Amino acid sequence: MVDGRAAAILHWYASHARDLPWRKPDAGPWAVLVSEIMLQQTPVSRVLPAYAAWLERWPTPAALAAAAPADAVRQWGRLGYPRRALRLHASARAITERHGGEVPGSLEALRALPGVGSYTAAAVASFAFGQRHAVLDTNVRRVLARLVRGDLRPPPNPTAMEVRLAESLLPVEPGLAPRWSVAVMELGALICTADRPRCPDCPVVSECAWHRAGRPVDDPHRARRRSQGYAGTDRQCRGRLLALLRESDGPVPAARLDAAWADADQCARSLASLVADGLAERLPGGSYILPR
């Protein structure tokens, strides 16, 4: 039996779910893996076109494995956190070499792939293989913190207690756990949002511990970390340098990169970090190029 809360959330999901391509029954494990890596740090609206273009170009792990890392970084474009492109490329090679070109279904084998952590492994095993695992992304963690524990926000880092709680709520009916996980995720994305929860539209508002407690706000001593702005950061500088490398067919002279950013120290530091991350290579003459 599915409990009342689970039934209400599943019922809500049936009529409110967004029609996202990686949720279609024919998406397949490779498409699901690509989507989850892209969605780790990028909103759905920006992932949609990048996901379609990626799979059009590389419909299988073997197709991506045959490409150069530079192609993956170029195709990643402006999606942000571009090390993910290198890791996805390395995963495609590992899948081709170790798993005969098929994305593995076990949590352990998934976790062994570059860039695949506990969350992504559980998401792929659930959504692509129909297995029963707790899938704890930030949306799910927030919904459970409010609904069950009465807290506005989950702890800063995932805890073993959260995993146990999420596992205890998974429906036992074969095949239903992945649908429950994606439904909770969707509730967090559309209704139980971080800053403006739409409680009147929530299917489980009457059972929500946080709502029942009068929707307490943050303890001021535990004020939420505001995310760092983008303008002027090393991240922005790295993005600008990487864009110059992506847009060039050949090596880019250091002087052209230096000219792209006013603060010379920050520019040098950012360039060095791109090289350290494997996103750029320094050639003997002092010019730079995407990884080959």
Instruction: Give catalytic residues, as residue numbers.
Output: 36
d(CA 171, CA 178): 9
Q: Which stretch binds ligand ADE (CB under 6 A): 8-16, 17-25, 212-220, 277-285?
A: 17-25
Tokens found for residue 270:
């950012």
Closest distance to ligand ADE from the beta carbon of 17 (Å): 9
User: Is residue 20 close enough to count as binding ligand ADE by CB under 6 A?
Assistant: yes
Among 8, 9, 31, 39, binds ligand ADE (CB under 6 A): 39
Q: Which stretch binds ligand ADE (CB under 6 A): 20-28, 49-57, 86-94, 145-153?
A: 20-28
Please give the DSSP secondary-structure letter assigned to residue 82.
Answer: T
User: Is residue 13 close enough to count as binding ligand ADE by CB under 6 A?
Assistant: no
Among 137, 169, 192, 245, binds ligand ADE (CB under 6 A): 137
User: Is residue 36 close enough to count as binding ligand ADE by CB under 6 A?
Assistant: yes
Handedness of CA 8, 10, 11, 12 (dihedral sign): positive
d(CA 39, CA 123): 11
The alpha carbon of 138 is separated from its chain's Cα centroid by a whole number of angstroms, namely: 10
Tokens found for residue 125:
């095993």
User: Is residue 94 close enough to count as binding ligand ADE by CB under 6 A?
Assistant: no
Position 284, amino acid: P
Closest distance to ligand ADE from the beta carbon of 21 (Å): 10
Number of residues that bind ligand ADE (CB under 6 A): 11
Q: Are 101 and 95 in contact (CB under 8 A)?
A: yes
- Strand-pairing partners, residue 289, are 281
Closest distance to ligand ADE from the beta carbon of 23 (Å): 5
For 102-143, the DSSP string reads S---SHHHHHTSTT--HHHHHHHHHHTT--------HHHHHH
User: Is residue 107 close enough to count as binding ligand ADE by CB under 6 A?
Assistant: no
Binding characters for ligand ADE, 161-190, by CB under 6 A (x = yes): ---------------------x--x-----
d(CA 242, CA 249): 13
User: Is residue 123 close enough to count as binding ligand ADE by CB under 6 A?
Assistant: yes
d(CA 168, CA 180): 12
Closest distance to ligand ADE from the beta carbon of 40 (Å): 8
Residue closer to ligand ADE (CB basis): 44 or 244: 44
- Strand-pairing partners, residue 252, are 288
Residue closer to ligand ADE (CB basis): 194 or 209: 194
Closest distance to ligand ADE from the beta carbon of 109 (Å): 20
d(CA 202, CA 143): 11
User: Is residue 127 close enough to count as binding ligand ADE by CB under 6 A?
Assistant: yes
Tokens found for residue 221:
């001593």
User: Is residue 235 close enough to count as binding ligand ADE by CB under 6 A?
Assistant: no
d(CA 220, CA 217): 9
Which residue lies nearest ligand ADE, judged by its C-beta? 39
User: Is residue 76 close enough to count as binding ligand ADE by CB under 6 A?
Assistant: no
d(CA 33, CA 28): 9
User: Is residue 74 close enough to count as binding ligand ADE by CB under 6 A?
Assistant: no
CB-count burial class (<10 Å; 0-12, 13-18, 19+) for 74: middle
Footprint of ligand ADE (CB under 6 A) = 20, 22-23, 36, 39, 44, 123, 127, 137, 182, 185
